């Protein structure tokens, strides 16, 4: 809920309500996102070194609940100071919010590997997570501005602060509910050491594939999403289509429904490749039809449904990579692997935002022009569907070298055998089952 409002409205809040110059806001976002991405692996290692009676990942839902809700309110409460004072407030609060957000969401990913080792349960849990993300993102995005207007009574500064107070209270309730009801049915007794971190990073091909794929997918996704306004306004001449395209992601639910059956029937890797190829078809569908609106809507709808399938399966794949790392490297690092996935997403997002600016500049885009040049329009079209098509095909080829799916039966059997040997020898087990 909160991060949707941050992503969709924080720039507008900073420039139009807090009065911070747009150029300074752009620099702020780039620096904070890059620093946040670099800190993610550290947070993952901290999670893997955590030992509590509640498990490794679960306690973070309790620990970060109040700081996250409080920082969300403070981020949208820039005081009426001097310009340098307002900018300093924005840097401090947005950076702290981003870091606490990482400490809140990385456990959401890492806890999946500790909740179950059953493939079908992992896919269902991943789909449930994606569904919750989808529902609350769409709801928060649609309700944000009406809430600002209603709660502010004409004062947007007050309206944003009160809206985040409301969303912060809701997030606090949800974090505490997750802490109270989720269980890590299996936890690791040892703490992750530096040597283990090096092993996971160096001798783990699936992790490298995951990072590369995450950077590429998120870079192209951000470039496409951020170019939507330019595409609709400067190429189609229909800026009114922007909110319609923004609602089509609700069709991700179709992908969520079929994720489990397809993953069981064809394997997770092949399902991911199929989801990528369906998205390629959706992205490329409008290309032959020029400025015809119908293919744009149909292609975006198809790509949205495939995105639900992609996300549902990819988080289940991360849990499998945790098992692979324990089998291959002798290190079970749920937090580190989840953090590396978050790092790849944020690094890709930062790269995608920069790529959009570079490509628009290369095409000669002019924000004050009544009509953009042919080169600028070509750059916009490439950002909207050309670049995603190229990148998705590259990622599909990259995933062909991912072989963990075929190794899972052997991995599970070997890990179980190791546990039996440890139990027979009377030595402490690495992996302790919890009721």
- Range among 6-15, 186-195, 372-381 rated most confident: 372-381
Element of type H or E holding 281: helix 268-284
- What percent of the chain is predicted at pLDDT more than 90? 28
pTM: 0.71
- Predicted pLDDT of residue 406: 85
* Mean pLDDT of the region 270-287: 94
Burial per residue of 152-164, b for 16 or more beta-carbon CB atoms within 10 angstroms, e otherwise: beeebbebbbbbb
Q: Is residue 201's pLDDT more than 80?
A: no
* Mean pLDDT of the region 253-274: 88
Q: How far is CA 177 from the centre of its chain?
A: 22
Q: How far apart are CA 322 and CA 22, in angstroms?
A: 42
Q: Is residue 213's pLDDT more than 80?
A: yes
* Mean pLDDT of the region 338-367: 79
pLDDT tens for each residue of 379-411: 889 989 899 999 999 999 999 999 888 888 888
- Range among 137-151, 204-218, 364-378 rated most confident: 204-218
Q: Is residue 427's pLDDT more than 60?
A: no
- Predicted pLDDT of residue 66: 95
pLDDT tens for each residue of 141-159: 778 888 888 999 888 899 9
- Predicted pLDDT of residue 203: 66
User: In terms of CATH architecture, what is 2-418?
Assistant: Up-down Bundle (1.20)
Place of tokens 């809430």: 147
- Predicted pLDDT of residue 298: 94
DSSP-derived secondary structure letter, 67: H
- Predicted pLDDT of residue 429: 46
Q: What is the CA radius of gyration of the chain?
A: 22
Of 200 and 30, the structure prediction assigns the larger pLDDT to: 30
- Give backbone dihedrals phi and psi of 29, rounded to 5 degrees, phi first: -65, -40
Q: Is residue 431's pLDDT more than 50?
A: no
Mean pLDDT of the chain: 83
Q: How far apart are CA 118 and CA 320, in angstroms?
A: 10
Q: Which residues pair with 431 in a beta bridge?
A: 188
How deeply is 401 buried, as exposed, middle or buried, from its count of CB atoms within 10 A (0-12, 13-18, 19+)? exposed
3 state DSSP class of 187: strand
* Mean pLDDT of the region 18-25: 78
Q: Cβ distance 55 to 350 under 8 Å? A: no
- Predicted pLDDT of residue 396: 94
């Amino acid at each position: 809920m909160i991060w949707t409002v941050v992503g969709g409205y924080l720039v507008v809040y900073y420039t139009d309500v807090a009065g911070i110059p747009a150029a300074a806001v752009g620099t702020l976002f780039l620096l904070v996102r890059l620093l946040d991405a670099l800190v993610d692996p550290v947070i993952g290692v901290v999670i893997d070194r955590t030992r509590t009676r509640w498990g490794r990942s679960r306690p973070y839902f309790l620990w970060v609940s109040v700081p996250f809700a409080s920082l969300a309110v403070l981020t949208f409460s820039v005081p009426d100071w001097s310009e340098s004072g307002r900018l300093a407030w924005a840097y401090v609060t947005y950076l702290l919010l981003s870091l606490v957000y990482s400490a809140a969401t990385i456990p959401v990913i890492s806890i999946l590997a500790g909740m179950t080792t059953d493939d079908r349960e992992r896919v269902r849990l991943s789909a449930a997570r994606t569904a919750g993300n989808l529902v609350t993102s769409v709801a928060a995005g649609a309700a944000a501005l009406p809430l600002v207007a209603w709660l502010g009574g004409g004062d947007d500064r007050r309206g944003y602060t009160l809206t985040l107070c409301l969303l912060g209270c809701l997030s606090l309730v949800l974090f505490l509910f997750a802490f109270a009801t989720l269980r890590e049915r299996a936890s690791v007794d040892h703490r992750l050491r530096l040597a283990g971190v090096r092993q996971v990073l160096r001798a783990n091909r699936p992790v490298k594939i995951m990072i590369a794929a995450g950077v590429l997918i998120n870079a192209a996704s951000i470039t496409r999403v951020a170019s939507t306004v330019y595409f609709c306004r400067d190429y189609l001449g229909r800026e009114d289509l922007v909110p319609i395209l923004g609602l089509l992601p609700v069709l991700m639910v179709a992908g969520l429904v079929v994720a489990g059956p397809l993953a069981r029937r064809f394997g997770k890797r092949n399902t991911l490749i199929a989801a990528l190829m369906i998205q390629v078809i959706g992205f490329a569908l409008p290309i032959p039809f020029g400025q015809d609106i119908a293919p744009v809507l149909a292609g975006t709808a198809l790509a949205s449904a495939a995105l639900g399938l992609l996300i549902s399966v990819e988080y289940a794949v991360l849990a499998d990579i945790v098992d692979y790392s324990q089998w291959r490297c002798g290190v079970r690092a749920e937090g580190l692997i989840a953090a590396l996935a978050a790092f790849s997403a944020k690094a890709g997002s930062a790269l995608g935002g920069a790529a959009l600016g570079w490509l628009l500049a290369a095409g000669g885009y002019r924000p004050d022009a009544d009509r953009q040049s042919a080169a600028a329009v070509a750059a916009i079209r490439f950002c909207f569907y050309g670049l995603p098509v190229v990148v998705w095909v590259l990622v599909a080829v990259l995933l062909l070298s991912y072989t963990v799916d075929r190794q899972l039966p052997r991995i599970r059997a070997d890990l179980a055998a190791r546990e039996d040997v440890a139990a027979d020898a009377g030595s402490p087990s690495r992996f302790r089952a919890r009721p």
